Structures are given as C-alpha cells and as structure tokens.
Amino acid sequence: MKKIYKLFSIILITASLVIVLSGCGNKNEALVKNNEKLKTLKLPNSDETYINLDVYFDGSKDEKEVKVVREERMIKREELIGEIMIQELIKGPSVESQLKPIFHKDTKLTSFSIKDGIAYVNLSEAARFKMSAGKEEACLRSIVLSLTQLSSIDKVKILVDNKSVDTLGGNFDISKAFSEKDILKIKK
C-alpha cells in the first residue's frame, strides 16, 4: 500500500511542479526543466519497463473474518505514462493558457494500451463530433506528438467505444494506425 502512495505522491508532485513552474518565468524554460525531471524520474521498485505495485483485495472467507490480501501487479511504465498523457489532453490546457482544448469536454478515455509500437487509444463517443479540417488535424497531431515522445510508440490507433472508426471529425481517415508523417496522407 505504501508503494501505491509513493507512486501517487511522485505523480502528484510532478504534476504540481508542472503547474507551479508553468506560471513562473519563461514557460519554455520551465517545460525544459520539467522534461529533464521526468526523464530522470525513477519510480520505486521499477526497472525501465515495468512498475511493480502491490494492490490489496478482500480475502475474507466469511463475514466475521476480515482479511485483506496483497496481490502484486506489474504495470508497463510507458502505458501508464501514455494513459496519463491522454487524460491530460482530455482535461485540456491550463486555465491561464490561451491554448484551446482538442477534445469535447465530455470525452472519456475508456482504455489505453501499447502493442508492437502502436498506441491504442480507446475514447468515448463524445470524442466524435463534426469539426473543421484544421481542428481535426490539430487534434490528431496533438495526440500523436504527445504519445510518440514515448520510445515504445511509433503510431497511434484511435478507437471509439472499443470499435475502429473512420474519422473523429469527418476530415481524416483514421481507420488505420498513423504517425505524424501520415497525417496529411490520411486527409479525406
């Protein structure tokens, strides 16, 4: 349980630093410093690929005996970071920022996984709405550029409610996985 608190604390501290530092001084300078911190961040009991966590479940045999039992989980580090990245994109830019959100406010991340260099981003139906070609391109570029910072991701495949979709906004064919270089090629 302490390991979960440590992991949560590290993520919370890192997020707090990003928020605090983004409001102070040169924003580019703060972003560079935060990126350097993230690269050197070492999580407890982790190697480069996995994070080892203990989670606890009810192991009671009957209602009178309360017993909580530990179960070990190995979580892929880059999948966890990728999921957090998408959650941050859904949350939108900071309040002080003059940037625009890329997702509708009701969008939810249903699941996130990485397999064979492809990030599978499964979003709720709220992610699909009519948008201009420029808005949709910005959305797709934001997703791809954010996720391909992770070494295990080369392309992105977007799903909606566990199904492959042809488009998010009507202007780009996202029926197949794509990279940043592919974006102009997949324009309808």
**Domains of the chain and CATH, by start:** 77-188 (3.30.300)
Q: What is the pLDDT of residue 24?
A: 46
Provide mean pLDDT across the span 123-143.
97
* The pLDDT of residue 103 is above 70: yes
The larger pLDDT score, comparing residue 70 to residue 45, is at 70
Per-residue confidence band for 49, with pLDDT thresholds at 50, 70 and 90 = confident
Provide mean pLDDT across the span 164-181.
97
Q: What is the pLDDT of residue 106?
A: 96
Per-residue confidence band for 13, with pLDDT thresholds at 50, 70 and 90 = low
Q: How much of the chain exceeds pLDDT 70, in percent?
A: 74
User: Distance (Å, rounded) from C-alpha 15 to C-alpha 38?
Assistant: 10
- In the chain, the N- to C-terminal Cα span, in Å, equals 50
Per-residue confidence band for 69, with pLDDT thresholds at 50, 70 and 90 = very high
**Alpha helices, DSSP H only, in the chain?**
2-22, 27-40, 77-91, 133-147
Question: Which positions ≥6 away from 148 have C-beta within 8 Å?
Answer: 154, 155, 156, 179, 180
Q: What is the mean pLDDT of the chain?
A: 85
Q: What is the pLDDT of residue 118?
A: 98
* The pLDDT of residue 174 is above 80: yes
User: Distance (Å, rounded) from C-alpha 122 to C-alpha 127?
Assistant: 10
